[in-house]
Amino acid sequence: MKPRPRRPNPRPPPGPPVELEIQAVGGEGDGLAEGPVFVPFVLPGERVRVQGSGERRELLEVLRPSAERVEPPCPHFFACGGCALQHWAHAPYLAWKVERLRTTLARQHIDTEFLPPYATEPGTRRRVTLHARRGSREAARLGYKARKSWDLVDIAVCPISAPAIQAAIPALKRLAAPLFEHPKSAPSLHVTLTDTGLDIDITGVEAKSGGLSADARMQVAERAAEADFARVTLAGEVAYQARSALVRLGPATVALPPGAFLQATRGAEAAMTEFVAKSAAGATRIADLYCGVGTFTFRLAEIAPVHAADFAPEAVAALGAVLASLPGLHAVTPEARDLVRRPMLAEELKKTDVVVFDPPRAGAAEQTAQLARSAVPRVIGVSCNPATFARDARTLIDAGFRLEAVMPVDQFLWSPHIELVGVFQR
């Protein structure tokens, strides 16, 4: 097997070709050989010929392929920087992700039970960011950044994405074409598949020159209408709207604010929500911190009253707007609050017996310090960054909590990223 990487620049880097034995896969998905030397698109046990210098080399040829090597399903794989591991069979790929998570926790001397991981499937990603570059007047170039480069890989398909997003790629290229009136514009299209259609928030259009002209805005609106998109916004400002961008979250239907955070796949959201709700069973009062638009809030409100807090006021407002239409739930108290500068204090949590927190990648150091001081008996942490989760978990464990179980979540298919839900009990 001799894969020929389809790189934007097919010329190999300077340096003599050498042969290497690949020992493992590193944290970013590249193969690791003695040196250390990192090589993309290779697997443990393979013998490869590479070229370049220093720690990072480029693959020329696989001399002895692994039995775990498979044909990548995407024609853009070797050039596109979006995926790193399409060439690895699913079972060992997933096992590697879980082991990385176990190792990350072990660095903080944390041992726990690992539940079976949730693994997302191809064609289920409902939220993607596509970068646009100037093309013709009718269609921009649109795709992902090239591997380790600012170059753009103009895509025709994307096997991780939901079929509705893949089918819309030509229309999205047309939508982006009028965005290049200013030479400094480098637009990104943040595309979310909602229950009512595609919702696109566009950022990166040069604003200092006055933004888009009225003519360009008209073209954007016309092309959005042609494609039957639900809504198109320019950095949050509505440029076209046929209908609200609605999503179902447990028993609630929420109108998404422009650019709002949503879990990347519906299946992962359902698996995490179910696990969180099961772990919160029996609570009498719950705090849902970093609640967003209510991913967990509404399911938790089926169990007990919920105080829901998040730093994004527009997300909290969207959550609060639907509460009157949900009479069967326990009371929900929404609060717009910066939980870094103003975390929920231990004293405010006196009557709370379950806290759920789902912070950004930076983690929740300030909030977990307050949880450590509190008398809350059960904490459920949701994280997209195992390193900051492990740091925050150490704070809770040092205060008398035990990490009872972790559910790994792979919703960023074929990337090195792994997410998790962890349950702590005093």
CATH of the domain at 375: 3.40.50.150
Q: Are residues 143 and 213 in the same domain?
A: yes
CATH of the domain at 188: 2.40.50.1070
Q: How far apart are CA 324 and CA 74, in angstroms?
A: 46
- Asked whether residue 260 is domain-assigned, the answer is no
CA-nearest of 92, 80, 87, 85 to 128 is 80
Q: Are residues 360 and 240 in the same domain?
A: no
pTM of the model: 0.93
CA-nearest of 368, 354, 381, 370 to 287 is 354
- Asked whether residue 254 is domain-assigned, the answer is no
| pLDDT score, position 38 | 96
- Specify the number of domains making up the chain: 3
- Asked whether residue 75 is domain-assigned, the answer is no
Q: Are residues 108 and 143 in the same domain?
A: no
| pLDDT score, position 11 | 67
Q: Is 83 labeled as catalytic in the residue annotation?
A: no
Kindly give, in sequence order, each residue whose CB lies less than 8 Å from that of residue 53, ignoring residues fewer than 6 positions away.
13, 14, 15
- Asked whether residue 256 is domain-assigned, the answer is no
Q: Are residues 231 and 289 in the same domain?
A: no
| pLDDT score, position 208 | 78
Contacts within 8 Å (CB) and 24+ apart, 149-158: 149/8, 149/81, 151/8, 153/8, 153/76, 153/79, 153/80, 153/81, 155/76, 155/80, 155/130, 156/75, 156/76, 157/74, 157/75, 157/76, 158/74, 158/76, 158/82, 158/125, 158/128
Domain that holds residue 28: 1-69
- Asked whether residue 84 is domain-assigned, the answer is no
| pLDDT score, position 207 | 81
Q: Are residues 201 and 335 in the same domain?
A: no
Q: Per-residue confidence of the chain (426 residues) as pLDDT tens digits?
A: 444 444 434 567 788 899 999 999 999 999 999 989 999 999 999 999 999 988 999 999 999 999 999 999 999 999 999 999 999 999 999 999 999 999 999 999 999 999 999 999 999 999 999 999 999 999 999 999 998 788 999 999 999 999 999 999 999 999 999 999 998 899 999 999 999 999 999 999 988 777 899 999 999 999 999 999 999 999 999 999 999 999 999 999 999 999 999 999 999 999 999 999 999 999 999 999 999 999 999 999 999 999 999 999 999 999 999 999 998 999 999 999 999 999 999 999 999 999 999 999 999 999 999 999 999 999 999 999 999 999 999 999 999 999 999 999 999 999 999 999 999 999
- Asked whether residue 90 is domain-assigned, the answer is no
CA-nearest of 70, 92, 97 to 416 is 97
Instruction: For 311-323, give the secondary structure using H, E and C.
Output: CCHHHHHHHHHCH
Q: Are residues 230 and 272 in the same domain?
A: no
Query: Would you say 311 and 339 are in contact if contact means Cβ atoms under 8 Å apart?
Result: yes
Q: Are residues 187 and 51 in the same domain?
A: no
Q: Are residues 65 and 132 in the same domain?
A: no
Q: Are residues 58 and 117 in the same domain?
A: no
CA-nearest of 128, 27, 30, 146 to 81 is 146
- Asked whether residue 252 is domain-assigned, the answer is no
Q: How far apart are CA 102 and CA 322, in angstroms?
A: 39
Q: Are residues 339 and 280 in the same domain?
A: yes
Q: How far apart are CA 188 and CA 200, in angstroms?
A: 10
Q: Which of 80, 83, 291, 384 is catalytic?
A: 384
- Asked whether residue 109 is domain-assigned, the answer is yes
Q: Are residues 227 and 194 in the same domain?
A: yes
Query: Would you say 55 and 66 are in contact if contact means Cβ atoms under 8 Å apart?
Result: no
CATH of the domain at 26: 2.40.50.140
Q: Are residues 57 and 141 in the same domain?
A: no
